[in-house]
Amino acid sequence: MTPRDDRRSTLTDAASMRVLAHPTRLRLLALLRERGPQTAAQLGDVVDEAPGTVSYHLSKLASSDLIQAAEPQSADRRERWWQATAPLTSWEPADLLDDPDRLAASTALEKSIAQEGAARYGDYVDTRASLPREWVAAAASGDRSIRLTVDELAALRAELEAVVERWVEVGAAHDPADDDGAESVLLAYQAYRRPGGAGA
């Protein structure tokens, strides 16, 4: 089971990490967070999977407390609705370094997340020409190599998390029902010591 509060689900066991490492489950959880309660049929239309297959993946996510049953959003009581249990999932890889099983599960999950992120960015690049010019101009991507101490890297992490949290609150103020010009924006960032030691 995955401990959670209103803000995040915290993965602590290898089984939950393995559940979420499946690319379809990553997408389903992201869709539930972005769109709110959905049925297997609705989600299947987006991920191009049969409702039965989607239901199986949803049951796996529910077994790790990453999603839960939601109140029906239609009059059809035969439909089963699902919702994410929290807007964020987290775990601390540093806490897993002495546990080979959990470390392997975390590694598999992080690689799945990286692959999903690369696929999403590839989709954006492929469709960029169809987007309004102002949205393309406002987008950002880049990378820098910076020499930092471990304390400075930790401070950078804290600052990045604070900036992201501030903008999450701005985004939460936009009602999807309003026509205020707000759209779904994907934010991804990474900061880590380059493997191979100094100067690599």
Q: What is the pLDDT of residue 4?
A: 57
- What average pLDDT is seen over the chain? 92
Cβ 23 vs Cβ 115: under 8 Å: yes
Cα separation values, 64 from 10, 85, 92, Å:
10, 10, 17
> Is 80 exceeded by the pLDDT of residue 3?
no
Burial (CB < 10 A; 0-12, 13-18, 19+), residue 63, is: middle
If you average pLDDT over residues 61-81, what whole number do you get?
88
Q: Where are the domains positioned within the chain?
A: 9-139, 142-174+184-193
CA 40, 25, 99 angle in degrees (round to 5)? 150
Angle between helix 23-35 and 51-63 (nearest 10): 90
Tokens read off for 123: 């989709």
Q: What is the pLDDT of residues 28-49, one digit of tens each?
A: 999 999 999 999 999 999 999 9
CA atoms within 13 A on the CB side of 74: 11
Fold assignment, 9-139: Arc Repressor Mutant, subunit A (1.10.10)
Percent of the chain beyond pLDDT 90? 80
